[in-house]
Structure 1
Amino acid sequence: MFLRTVPDSMDPAVVAAVDAELDRVAAEHRVCIRLAIESGSRAWGFPSPDSDYDCRFVYVASLETYLSPWRTRDVIETPLVGLLDVNGWDLAKALRLLVQGNAVIVEWLMSPIVYRGDEAFRTRLREVAAEVADRDRVARHYLHLGERQWRLFERNGGLKKVFYALRPAMALRWLREHPGAAVAPMHLPTLLSQCELPADFVDAVTELTALKSRTREMGTGAVPAPIAAFIATEFHTAADTFASRGPRDLTAARAITDEFFRTEALAVG
């Protein structure tokens, strides 16, 4: 079933440009785009009036490409044009990174904004991700990302940057409150709604998000105290909760992803 969920708040001209670029990529590179989503602040739930359009996609190349001994690049990158940023990964690359604990493909699968895709493909890949994603490694991914962004904020200021630490902190909180899951929502309002949180913290996030939505330049300033305390606490707690472990046995994960990849590659031909 064809999948498309693009909110009316997005500029129709830019969305049309995304669609045209995806058509061009598919034809020029001879690939089948299985899922194309928005991955930036619009999908995270805290856009600014001038936020970029960050389209990311997963594609399957021709069987001829996979059977050739001559390796080709497993990413497709297009030039930045205005607010438009369109890039994608080969399904094989996405699966390898998923097994290694990279949370990027997990986030793509959870994006609430879909430019195009096959609903059955996304459903199956979500199931694969739930089976093979390493919960601790995904959490460590968010911890390192969040700490890096928080250091950048502390060094350079700029209230916009608070959100890039806040979202990983919320993902870590969500994972702690959902101990059986390895795949967290990417959408900040969804993370907030699915966790037990102090009212003053939720109010502070809501106010800061509203400010960002109507302001091109938020400038510098003090972070609301409930948000600063939350971020610090979640990063400290996550460092103790989610273990940093050595290599794990990937036999089962590789078998699951092998089967999924072969099925998709043969289907595209």
Structure 2
Amino acid sequence: MRAVPISLDLQVVAEIDRRLSTVSAEHAVRIPWAIESGSRAWGFPSPDSDFDCRFVFIRSRDHYVSLWPSRDVIETPLDSTFDVNGWDLAKTVRLIVKGNATAIEWLRSPIIYTGDADFRDGLLSLADAVVERSAIGRHYLHVAKQQRTGPATLKRFFYVLRPAAALRWLETHPADAVPPMDLQTLLAEGDVDGDVRDAASELITRKARTRELGGGTPPAVLERFVTTELERAERFETMAPANDPIRTRALADEYFRSQLG
């Protein structure tokens, strides 16, 4: 499957496709999932945003029983336009089990360079079965807090607002642990007041036409929203795990082995 907006530069997309093909050939890996992460997939790109392609790769079964396994990360040259790298499936599964929201977000990206829908759905099903809501909540809470410690810019505020929106989504979906990836969907599905959504949309529009969205004060309604959601999310810090760790590891092992050729 492929889902690439027509707004993306065709030459850039072609270079990402080339890099993915080169990685597959040179490292003898299969790439069942390659997507865009970062601000473009989060729904608030700037005109000069780079391209953050992330992919999951799978090596041969023999590789995973070798005494000298290769690195579990593959990187391509980084420059001002391209940031293309990926994780081994084994690393991805372990991180999902630990509650790393980044690994899960890759499966919810609206921009897909190449992908096997069955692979995505299977890994999402595993995440639904094993992920601790408390771990996901802590992930987004800590990301927001860390971003708040840096210089206060409108650009940085987006990296606080999106985790806050994810925390709100978790609050309004008590049976789920895998939030959407993009900010506008999080707000739409998070039962957020209209004035919050309107203020966020206006700020997204400003960012889309400004190469460097620098200093300035975020709208008060968004500041209040962030503060409220982070305070409410403090409960995740002391929330006990709900899943049986033995069962979780067994499910993860079963899934991982099913993906090996």
Q: TM-score, normalised by structure 2?
A: 0.96
Task: Tell me which residue corresponds to 2:163.
Answer: 168
Secondary structure of 1:265's aligned partner: coil
* Residues 1:146 and 2:118 are matched in the alignment: no
Secondary structure of 2:174's aligned partner: coil
The 1-side partners of 2:205 and 2:240 are apart by 39
Once the two structures are TM-superposed, the CA of residue 104 in structure 1 deviates from its matched residue by 1.2
Please give the residue correspondences for 1:244-259 in structure 2 after superposition, counting only pairs within 5 Å: 244-245=239-240, 249-259=244-254
Once the two structures are TM-superposed, the CA of residue 121 in structure 1 deviates from its matched residue by 0.5
Task: Tell me which residue corresponds to 1:132.
Answer: 130
The 1-side partners of 2:28 and 2:60 are apart by 7
The superposition leaves residues 119-142 of structure 1 with CA deviations (integer Å, 9 ceiling, x where unpaired) of 111011111111011111011000
Secondary structure of 1:41's aligned partner: helix
Q: CA RMSD in A?
A: 1.4
Once the two structures are TM-superposed, the CA of residue 223 in structure 1 deviates from its matched residue by 1.2
Percentage of identical aligned residues: 51
Task: Tell me which residue corresponds to 2:69.
Answer: 71
Once the two structures are TM-superposed, the CA of residue 201 in structure 1 deviates from its matched residue by 1.4
The 2-side partners of 1:181 and 1:246 are apart by 14
2:141–2:164 CA contact under 8 A, matched in 1: yes
The superposition leaves residues 233-265 of structure 1 with CA deviations (integer Å, 9 ceiling, x where unpaired) of 111100025634479741111111111111111
| Contiguous gaps of at least 5 residues in structure 1 | none
2:132–2:242 CA contact under 8 A, matched in 1: no
Secondary structure of 1:85's aligned partner: strand
Task: Tell me which residue corresponds to 2:55.
Answer: 57
2:212 equivalent among 201, 217, 221: 217
Aligned length: 261
The 2-side partners of 1:132 and 1:98 are apart by 8
Task: Tell me which residue corresponds to 1:193.
Answer: 188
The superposition leaves residues 197-251 of structure 1 with CA deviations (integer Å, 9 ceiling, x where unpaired) of 2222111111100000011012201111001111111111000256344797411
The 2-side partners of 1:164 and 1:226 are apart by 16
The 2-side partners of 1:79 and 1:97 are apart by 24
Q: TM-score, normalised by structure 1?
A: 0.94
Once the two structures are TM-superposed, the CA of residue 81 in structure 1 deviates from its matched residue by 2.7
